[in-house]
Amino acid sequence: MNHTIHNRLGLVAIVSLISFSLWAEAPAGYYDAAIGKSGEALQKSLSAIISNADNVGYDGLWEVYKTTDRRPDGKVWDMYSDATDFTFGTDKCGNYKNEGDCYNREHSVPKSWFSKASPMYSDAWHVYPTDGKINSYRSNNPFGEVGSGASSSKNGFSKWGSCVTPGYTGTVFEPNDEYKGDFARTYFYFATRYQDRIDNWGGIFISTYPHIVKWQLDMLLRWNELDPVSQKEIDRNDAVQKEQGNRNPFIDYPELVDLIFGDRRNEPFSPMGEDTPYIETPQGGSTIDMGTTSVNVSDPATMPLQIKGRNITEDVVLTIEGANSDCFAVNPYTLTADAVNNGATVELSYHSSQVGAHSATLKITGGGIASPVVVNLTGEAVDDFVALPARNITYNSFVAAWTPKAGATDYELNVWYDDYSSSTPEKEILNTVFSSKPDTWTYDGYTAAENGKLRLGSGSTDGSATSPALDLSAGDVSITVVAEPYNNDQSVLYVSVDGKEIKQITLDGTTTTTIPVKEGTASSKITFMAKKDHRAYLHSVVVKSGGGFTSVALDGYPRRVGNVNEYEVTGLTPTVQYHYTVTPYEGETAQTVSNTVSVSTVASAVDELPADHILIFTSGTTLHILNAPMNAVAQWYTMDGRLCGSRVLHAEESEWELPEGFYIVRVVSRSMQSTVRVRSAQ
């Protein structure tokens, strides 16, 4: 179907120069109710706008397609196959055997996910005409990316097989690069229009904002960027409106993708480019974890937080609210407009005399912003010995700290770093997708295969599933589990190896968690358990060895440091993340080792950088690029060479979130280029 490709690559240059609002013909005032809103409020406003639509009916779609999905040569525009020349009406599917026999109505969001409910069942914005045979191969599997050796339609146009997209390991359908952006914007439309109805549909659409599960959202954002809006979509937008009465806002205003699903969720929708005040960072709805501290120490845990806005016109006020607001503090709590526009740093602190988990919210108001920015704060206080966050961090040293331990006469400090260059090749040990109950697993309590997932637990009985015996003795094994809560339960998944619990996973929507296993045997078994009334669904479990890192002890560590509560660690390397634990001793008897604290020498080394040196590194899941030339371009790739995204750097210091995994990051300007490998991990 090469003759039907509308020179989409040539449009990329045009896209960067011309607003799509000049191309598409949205009625005057169509989006007015959404102007000035941001994030979740913006999505809800758009939902109200585009839900004002006609239901053309499932049979009515055949007629709708004659204007919405007509190729320039008058044939059916098929996005699953490039080897078809269907005639409208004549080639509608009844029976078929081969690709090219007929076309049918493809629910790009499978109808089984939403139980064929209306109006989703006949919404022309996600039900497309496609080849019947390829549609059947797609089945009700999610969109994703496949590796080499996958099955495909003619000419390798569409593919299906095991997913290689980080976060999912089941069977997926990968559309051609030519239409990945089309389907991404279809899913953004679907998540937005039906945001108030979605209830964990297909494990992809979830009930919480922004209503697409993280691994799928990360992929769709990449697809949206790599395949921008085409003339085909612009024409279809107008045609669907004439037939169904609503539009796809992500075609009219592509920037809405970032404003609702991307990293600009605080920024208000301003189609005419008005200088509307807004808070750029922190992101509303994000969570800041202050970590673990002890009720036995008086000093609070502290953390710097940047408050940065644009077009701020008056003072900004920061307040702590919520049930445990007395455990948290912010200083200063009032910032001038100039300070916020230039980026100001405040200090968050957390302390409690009561054992337990605590939460509150940081509320940012004033400045002329339309609505408050609310950030979640969490922390945990324990009546126990704990290692505290490092202090006095420089490019080659830091001070490790810990709470006193009653009866301790000495402390042993262990410091290490993760060496990724010495890892063995990756080996897959187990890959189970719970579309049914595998016979090789054993079960206890209540378990059931439901909707392509394994349910653990009932209202009155715990439930667990245990793997067959596995060789986990390599020392560099990881377990990646995908799970979701059952209905509205406050679900927790307990993971054990050989009867010893190694992880508790709190499930908030579909959650992907990778767990290291350091002490397995040649015949270990892994158990996943959910308790009654806290039921959970298991999607998949993947167990691998190698392909990760080796922990390397810093020279001279572990070492006994005496009866002190802090110790300076020196002789470190800039831009390296270190970890430490502390073990109290009573005489020569070791007590329980502390929690692990991670600390990076990167930030304080910035002043040491030569003028022409770019620093690229990650801290947790945040990618940092420092000292980059203005208007340099940053691109990040998966390890197999897939471009994940790119952006122009408008400041010497830039940062944004990456999904968990390994990446190649490349920064290029007219005068230089720099490429590094990074790891994004919680």
Domains by residue range for the chain, with CATH? 2-62+106-122+136-260 (no CATH), 278-384 (2.60.40.10), 391-422+550-600 (2.60.40.10), 427-545 (2.60.120.260), 609-680 (2.60.40.3080)
> Would you place residue 2 in the very low, low, confident or very high pLDDT band (cuts 50, 70, 90)?
very low
CA dihedral 249, 253, 259, 263 (to 10 degrees): 120
- Quickly count: other Cβ atoms within 10 Å of residue 131's Cβ: 33
CA distances for 175 relative to 142, 153, 170, angstroms: 11, 10, 16
Q: Which residues contact 127 (CB under 8 A, 6 or more apart)?
A: 61, 105, 106, 107, 108, 121
* Average pLDDT score over residue span 504-528: 89
Please tell me the least confidently modeled range out of 360-374, 382-396, 626-640.
626-640
Instruction: State how far the alpha carbon of 478 is from the alpha carbons of 180, 317, 432, in Å.
Output: 31, 44, 14
Structure tokens at 165: 């997209």
> Over the stretch 522-573, which tens digit does the pLDDT of each residue have?
999 999 999 998 999 999 999 988 766 678 899 999 999 999 999 999 998 8
| pLDDT tens-digit map of 194-212 | 999 998 899 999 999 999 9
Contact between residue 485 and residue 491 where contact means Cβ atoms under 8 Å apart: yes
Indicate the residue type of 300: P
b/e sequence 166-198, b meaning 16+ C-beta within 10 Å: bbbbbbbbbbbebbbbbbbbbbbbbbbbbbebb
What's the rounded Cα separation, in Å, for the pair 129 and 664? 38
How much of the chain, in percent, has pLDDT values that exceed 90?
A: 54
Phi, psi of 406 (to 5 degrees): -55, 130
Average pLDDT for 99-118: 95
Q: Kindly write down the DSSP assignment for every residue of 187-205, as one continuous string.
A: HHHHHHHTTTT-SSBTTTB
User: Which residues, 6 or more positions from 451, have their beta carbon under 8 angstroms from its beta carbon?
Assistant: none
More confident residue, 121 or 8: 121
pLDDT tens digits, one per residue of 232-268: 999 999 999 999 999 999 999 999 999 999 988 888 8
Write the pLDDT tens digit of every residue in 647-682: 767 666 788 788 777 777 878 765 666 777 787 776
pLDDT at 7: 37
- Would you state the pLDDT for residue 421? 56
pLDDT at position 424 is 65
What does pLDDT average to over the chain? 87
The more confidently predicted of residues 301 and 446 is 446
Q: Check residue 351 and give its pLDDT.
A: 93
- pTM equals 0.55
Residue 278 corresponds to which tokens in the numbers above? 């807004």
Residue type at 341 in one-letter notation = N
What does the alpha-carbon distance between residue 487 and residue 453 come to, in Å, rounded to a whole number?
A: 13
For residue 425, pLDDT over 70 is answered with no
Asked whether the predicted pLDDT for residue 16 surpasses 80, the reply is no
Which tens digit of pLDDT belongs to each residue from 39-94? 998 999 999 999 999 999 999 999 999 999 999 999 999 999 999 999 999 999 98
Instruction: Count the Cβ atoms, other than its own, within 10 Å of residue 115.
Output: 9
User: Residue 644 has what pLDDT?
Assistant: 72
Cα→Cα distances 331→317, 320, 665, Å: 11, 11, 35
Token pair of 180 as six digits: 């990945």
Chain-centroid distance of CA 451 in Å reads 24
- The H or E element containing residue 342 is helix 337-342
Compute CA 640 distance to the chain's CA centroid, rounded to the nearest angstrom.
19
Tell me: pLDDT of 185 over 60. Answer: yes
